[in-house]
Amino acid sequence: MEKTSTDTLPLTMISSEERETICIFGTGDFGRSLGLRMLQCGYSIVFGSRNPRMSSLLPSGAEVLSYSEAAQKSDTIIIAIHREHYDFLTTLTEVLHGKILVDVSNNLKVNQYPESNAEYLAQLVPGDRVVKAFNTLSAWALQSGALDASRQVFVCGNDSKAKQKVMDIAHTLGLTPLDQGALRAAKEIENYPLQLFPMWKVPFYLSACLCVFFFVYCVIREVIYTYVYDKKDITFRLAVSIPNRVFPIVALILLAVVYLPGVIAAILQLYRGTKYRRFPDWLDHWMLCRKQLGLLGLGFAFLHVLYTLVIPIRYYVRWRLGNITATQAITKKENPFSTSSAWLSDSYISLGILGFFFFVLLGITSLPSVSNMVNWREFRFVQSKLGYLTLILCTAHTLIYGGKRFLSPSNLRWYLPSTHIIALIIPCTVLVIKFILILPCIDKILTRIRQGWERSPKFSESTVNGKTDI
């Protein structure tokens, strides 16, 4: 096993006079990594194995014994084996009696068993104090010193002293233990590592639906329409042109969707006249997904930038520019310079660059490593004030790009408007409502509500009587 460098050692070390022995049942990857981590922190480690003589790759300084012998050397035993092999513990009931058993196991599926592994362990050895912990960590995170992974450790158990002992161990390892309550919370803790992007599902589905919708919409308006009326085959646009039209639209809509629940929540508070009522579940979930929606929008914005940068090297663009140049040379005519067109073009590019810059800034500040370094006021300023500035810049970028074509009847194809008109519906709606909400006469009332003021006295009476939505 590769030796861990000194800069990955934990913040807390145990003096030689206070060396405590920890027993670990199991010599697999996780058990070895956890043992190495504890050795680095000053603990004395003894491994329990069914074949002590066959065990290898164990950390230097650790002792390996049989399960029965190892259990007698420590009051704290970490069970780093799978649930399917728990049955042998019933033969060690006398040796394990009164000891702290730390269950670190996980399952292969969510809710794979009726009860959690920790509760099952407590049923097998009823005389022991079972604690669930460390299952959200990986062997890699322990070997890397948890500097590049989550430091959070969820802990639960019925015995408060045993639970505190395990939390102290987690602190010594440089981790952050979080008390989740009684042992019945173990099932939720065990399901946590099995969740695959739980907060990303709705943003992913929404992004996929938007991409499919606008891609099909653009194909109908630009490819099929042109083939039917002009008998031209421009299917080559499916590779670059249409995706480069879809990606910025989806990015703008996702950015607007990030701030739309905020204005809806403000309208609800104004309508109810209080902040002491729960938002609808769909709005709560929507607000929790805003970070994921914004990051996906930033990803689509990046794709738009990349696709735009390759435009000059496309064959179609080079062919078209060559033909225009040759035609002007033959006819000895040139297009007159338009100052207004130059202004529109430069403004469109400048707004796009500024909007993308602030979009990237929003994405960076949403990362935990960055957001943890700023206070709440700074974070709110960036995500709210600069966020709306980003939305304004990106919306203006789209408006200028469309120019006069938005209102031109000739731009309609099969009575279908341009995709940019559809893309601007949500952003413009959010900006208009936000502008109304920041008017002094409305903002003053909204601020008072968020500070605890209530417009309806009936609600206060219902709260006192226990009738509340909280």
Partners of residue 155 on adjacent β-strands: 179
- Mean pLDDT for the chain? 85
pLDDT for residue 148 is more than 70: no
Percent of the chain with pLDDT over 70: 89
Instruction: Give the pLDDT mean for 189-199.
Output: 81
Residues 6+ positions from 453 with CB-CB distance below 8 Å: none
Instruction: Give the pLDDT mean for 114-130.
Output: 88
Instruction: Give the pLDDT mean for 159-179.
Output: 91
Instruction: Give the pLDDT mean for 379-392.
Output: 88
Residues 6+ positions from 223 with CB-CB distance below 8 Å: 234, 235, 237, 238, 242
Q: pLDDT tens digits for 78-106?
A: 999 999 989 889 889 888 988 999 999 99
Cα separation values, 442 from 120, 264, 436, 448, Å = 57, 14, 8, 10
User: Is 76 in contact with 22 (CB distance < 8 Å)?
Assistant: yes
Q: Please state the pTM of the whole predicted model.
A: 0.70
283: left (phi over 0), alpha (psi -120 to 50) or beta: alpha
Q: Among 188-197, 287-296, 414-423, which is the least confidently predicted range?
A: 188-197
Q: pLDDT tens digits for 335-359?
A: 788 888 888 889 989 999 999 999 9
Partners of residue 177 on adjacent β-strands: 153
Q: What is the pLDDT of residue 46?
A: 93
Q: What is the pLDDT of residue 28?
A: 86
Q: What is the pLDDT of residue 452?
A: 85
Confidence class for position 368, pLDDT limits 50, 70, 90: confident
User: Is 246 in contact with 214 (CB distance < 8 Å)?
Assistant: yes
3-state secondary structure of 196: coil
Q: What is the pLDDT of residue 3?
A: 39
Instruction: Give the pLDDT mean for 60-77.
Output: 90
pLDDT for residue 391 is more than 70: yes
Instruction: Give the pLDDT mean for 369-396.
Output: 85
- Report how far residue 304's alpha carbon sits from residue 355's, in angstroms, rounded to the nearest whole number: 13
